[in-house]
Amino acid sequence: MTKDITELRNRHRNRYTKDEMAGRIPENILEDILSRVDIVEIISGYIPLKRAGRNFRALCPFHHEKTPSFMVSPDRQIYHCFGCQAGGNAFNFLIQYERLEFPEAVETLAKKVGVSLPQGQKQDYKTTSLITQLYKINELTALFYETNLNSSNGLEAKKYLLKRGINESTIKLFKLGYASRNWDALINHLRNKTINLSLLEKAGLVLSKEGGGYYDRFRDRIIFPIFDIKSRVLAFGARVLPDTSSKVTGEDTSPKYINSPETPLYIKGRNLYGLNLARDAIRENDYVVIVEGYLDFIMPYQEGQKNIVASLGTALTTEQARLIKRYTHNVVMVYDADDAGQMATLRTLDIFIEEGMTVKVVSLPEGFDPDLFVRKNGIGNFKEKINQAENLFDYKLKVLKSRYSTKDIEAKALISFEMLLTINRFKNAILKAEYIKRLAQELDVREDALLQELSKIKKAKPYSDLGAQGSTKKALNINPTEKLLIKLMLEEEALVSHIRERLEPADFQDERTARIVSLMFDLIEQGKNIEPNKLINYLNDESTSQIICESTLLPQISSENKENVINDCIQRLKNERLRIKKEHLHEQIKTAEGLGEEEKLNRLMQEFHCLIKERQDKINEEERIY
């Protein structure tokens, strides 16, 4: 059995290790980390938790829900969502929430609690996981572009940035770079580091040629690395240098900005540019300023508006709203005054309402974006604009009134409909009522008419529903008796030996629960403690982790009923195993009868009767003892 457990442990660790952490992480170190970590403290750093008896409850961060079904157990040091079935220990939470590899989660928590990890050795790109390889490739690429910018090749690009008012320290802080005009500069650089070109393609850094081979995606452009919340490079944005695209043809044909495609690391709409640097200021000020582009972010940030992020031109998503909610519930959107910018804002701002956040909007003077406004008017005037931001209701109504005449009956109906779509997103009934009252006054229409129209608007589907559907796992179809016994053994180690005397893993019909029970029996035999958060580390798939979490968070069994419950569970499992054996033998007997196999039939009949007698003897013995 010990050999089996070792294989389980190794299989689990091999699944996640970064070049096996240049040698496997010893089990005692993993257990030491988990014993020092408080999972409630870890998870509450990401989402708000509320006390619910012995546990804590929250809205699940992994799927959209309105009723909290995400539970965290401080006693057992695990979490579990009864909606999407996500669950595990502190390592699992970081893996799911931060999209880390297992070794990275271990490193993060080890650093937090002061546990030293074995020193890694030189990383092997061939055996390291894809995600880890891509992060490393992006880091090398960012450094290559950054070095280019500060070389003679990047002289024009550097001059352009300085001319735009971006100073040297800011260039260094954001690791701005330059991609030269050569078609294979990056390819040659990384090839010298023995990196496979197919990995560069997966990282979105090169494009394949029709006749075979590759060429650099970014050429003769200023490079803006895009970082995740942990300041790791996810992707790149690239701006063409002014006039370079028209030097040959006489006309500008290149797009001003191009970005990395979606990769295993980078999914558009899940990140915000600059959040890694701005998150502390966002917390301190309790609001975030959202702009659109790289320079729209960089210039205000450089001049002192630290609580700012950029959406990078994409329509805002629920994932981005939830990312912001980790730090604040208050948002100020800053957009150009052009029609396209206004309409895009109107189409996406309801996402924040859906997430229970407060939204205000700043509309800059015509011809200005945040970058130009700060350069021309100074950061003081920009901050004053932020302070004068209009709430979403006023802004949207102002825009609609500028487009449609309130004197025209049909236009008034259209304005009402558009405003009601937003009002309908508010979950607070008082806010809804007050905005209905204000809309009636602004449009000079009866309040009851607006309420009647509001009732016609079907309950809007949450913006996140489509994304949530893909992330929800199916509930496991596990025998409740098996789960209950696992719960009881996890709660009271003395019961493990007691149950082991009366049951064996084969009595558990589900292969996954049988593996969990086998592991617990083995650990007890080795004199080791059984704790749910540490047990998870020995097992190598999500379903067993899910069973442990679900079992642990089942309702409590009173101490006076516990013995009866245990005896009943044991009896049920034995009866079920006997029933299955009897059915199997019965089918074999029928087959032997049909084939006229007399000798086999007699043997099976004898085995059947022995099975019944053996079971009856055990029942009698248990009744005598218990």
Average the pLDDT over 131-150 and give the result. Answer: 94
Phi/psi at 358 (5° precision) = -95, 130
Nearest-angstrom CA–CA distance, 157 and 220: 9
What's the CATH code of the domain at 153? 3.90.980.10
Residues 254 and 298 in one domain: no
pLDDT in tens, 275-289: 999 988 998 999 999
Of the three residues 259, 287, 314, the one that is the final residue of a domain is 259
Q: Decide if 561 is inside a domain.
A: yes
Domain shared by 60 and 87, yes or no: yes
Average pLDDT over residues 14-19: 37
pLDDT at residue 338 in the model: 59
Same-domain check for residues 107 and 158 = no
pLDDT of residue 296: 95
Checking 555-558 for CB contacts under 8 A at 24+ apart, the result is 557/484, 557/487, 557/488
- Same-domain status, 197 and 286: no
User: 603-622: per-residue pLDDT in tens?
Assistant: 877 777 776 776 666 655 55
Is residue 427 in some structural domain? no
| Same-domain pairing of 304 and 240 | no
Question: How far apart are alpha carbons 140 and 205 in whole angstroms?
Answer: 12
pLDDT of residue 326: 75
pLDDT computed for residue 120 by the predictor? 55
User: What pLDDT shows up at residue 2?
Assistant: 41
Range of the domain at 99: 2-113
Asked if the structure places residue 435 within a domain, the reply is no
pLDDT tens-place string over residues 506-557:
888 888 888 888 888 888 888 777 888 888 877 766 788 888 888 888 887 7
Q: How many CB atoms lie within 10 A of CB 601?
A: 18
Predicted confidence at residue 379, as pLDDT, reads 97
* 238-254 per-position pLDDT tens digit: 999 886 544 433 445 57
| Pairwise pLDDT comparison (208 vs 626), residue with the higher score | 208
CB 436 within 8 A of CB 457: no
In a domain, 350, yes or no: yes
Q: Give the confidence band of 441 by pLDDT, cuts at 50, 70, 90.
A: very high
| Tokens linked to 278 | 């701005």
- What is the domain count for the chain? 4
Which of 83, 113, 143 is the endpoint of a domain?
113
| 514 CB-near residues (< 8 Å, 6+ apart) | 505, 506, 508
**φ, ψ (nearest 5 deg) of residue 372:** -65, -40
What is the tens place of the pLDDT at every residue in 180-199?
999 999 999 999 998 989 99
Q: Is residue 312 part of a domain?
A: yes
Domain CATH for 536? 1.10.860.10
On whether residue 405 sits in a domain, the answer given is no
497 with 611, same domain: the answer is yes
300 and 213 in one domain?
Answer: no
- CATH number at 18 reads 3.90.580.10
Give the pLDDT band (50/70/90) at residue 125: very low
Least confident of 6-15, 91-100, 132-141, 260-269: 6-15
Confidence of residue 122 (pLDDT cuts 50, 70, 90): very low
Paired residues of 258 in beta bridges = 238
| Enclosing H/E stretch for 81 | strand 78-81
Instruction: Say if residue 150 is in the same domain as residue 81.
Output: no
At 556 the pLDDT is: 78
The rounded distance, in Å, linking the Cα atoms of 86 and 476 is 12
At 390-438, the pLDDT tens digits run 999 999 999 888 888 888 888 888 888 888 988 988 888 899 999 999 9
Burial 86-116 (b: 16+ CB within 10 A, else e): bbbbbbbbbbbbebbbbbbbbbbbbeeeebe
If asked whether residues 58 and 145 sit together in one domain, one would say no
Nearest to 272 by CA among 233, 227, 302: 227
pLDDT recorded at residue 176: 97
Nearest to 399 by CA among 385, 419, 417: 419
Identify whether residues 331 and 385 lie together within a single domain: yes
The answer to whether position 409 is within a domain reads: no
- What is the model's pTM? 0.61
pLDDT at 17 over 70: no
- Domain boundary at 364, 396, 428, which? 396
Sequence-distant (6+) residues with CB within 8 A of 503 are 485, 517, 570, 573, 574
Answer yes or no: is 304 within a domain.
Answer: yes
Q: Quick one: tokens of 227?
A: 């970082």
- pLDDT of 72 > 80? The answer is yes
Q: What is the CATH number for 291?
A: 3.40.1360.10
| In a shared domain, residues 11 and 143 | no
CA distance 444 to 189: 67
pLDDT digits over 329-349, tens only?
999 999 776 555 565 567 678
pLDDT at 466 over 50: no
pLDDT at 168: 96
**Percent of the chain topping pLDDT 90:** 36
Same domain (yes/no): 494, 620: yes
pLDDT at 344: 55
